[in-house]
Amino acid sequence: MRILIVEDEPTLGQQLKTTMENAGYAVDLSTDGEDGHFLGSNESYDAVILDLGLPKVDGLTVLDRWRKEGLKFPVLVLTARDGWSDKVAGLDAGADDYLAKPFQTEELIARLRALIRRASGNASSELTAGAVRLDARSGRVTLDGSPVKLTAQEYKLLSYLMHHKGKVVSRTELIEHIYDQDFDRDSNTIEVFVTRIRKKLGQEVISTIRGLGYSLEDPQA
């Protein structure tokens, strides 16, 4: 899953980026509203963490522009403001959730996971496909109840496919959602990771749809 953080406070921004990367997300960091709006409008994100008190363009304006552009990714608003009117303004502008500073990073990650789940139509943090189970809270993957060790990138790819179970996902979409903007998009690593996942979880877990991409189906559905 790929996240955009728009936060102008350098220390907090880097802390959030590191925390989210350690939690298994690909992360882009922007430090002002103008650049943040550009990235959100031109890159593919599964969710955005947006500060309201931004330089150049404030967060509410950025959020309002995204929604008017038809962008539907979930947005978690961060702000030092704690008045009810600021919360209402953020939600009215199109925010999906709200967290006032200071906050616990565990709560931020939990809220973000919930937003991503709801956006992809999943109510539970435990995603299943046949004998494969992925727990988004712990990052644990099991096959028939036995733990399976995946690398960070293998986990990101599997997680994205499981969040979009039953849909055909193109190679380009996978690259856009599991890597940050600096990744070499001509790389063939997607194919390598799919092969590795199949070796660990079974050849049938990920189907190749010739000319279109990959699909993860639930054989019990």
SS3 state of residue 19: helix
pLDDT tens, the chain, 221 aa long? 899 999 999 999 999 999 999 988 999 999 999 999 999 999 999 999 999 889 999 999 999 999 999 999 999 998 876 667 777 888 888 899 988 888 899 999 999 999 998 888 776 788 898 899 999 888 899 999 999 999 988 999 999 999 999 899 999 899 988 887 766 666 678 899 999 999 999 988 999 999 899 999 776 55
The one-letter amino acid code at 175 reads I
Between CA 75 and CA 73 the distance in angstroms is 6
Architecture of the domain whose range is 2-119: 3-Layer(aba) Sandwich (3.40)
Count CB-CB contacts under 10 A for residue 116: 21
**148: phi then psi, degrees, rounded to nearest 5:** -120, 130
Q: What CATH number should be reported for the domain whose range is 126-215?
A: 1.10.10.10
Given a contact cutoff of 8 angstroms between Cβ atoms, the answer to whether 98 and 87 are in contact is yes
SS3 state of residue 56: coil
Domain with CATH 3.40.50.2300 in the chain: 2-119
Domain with CATH 1.10.10.10 in the chain: 126-215
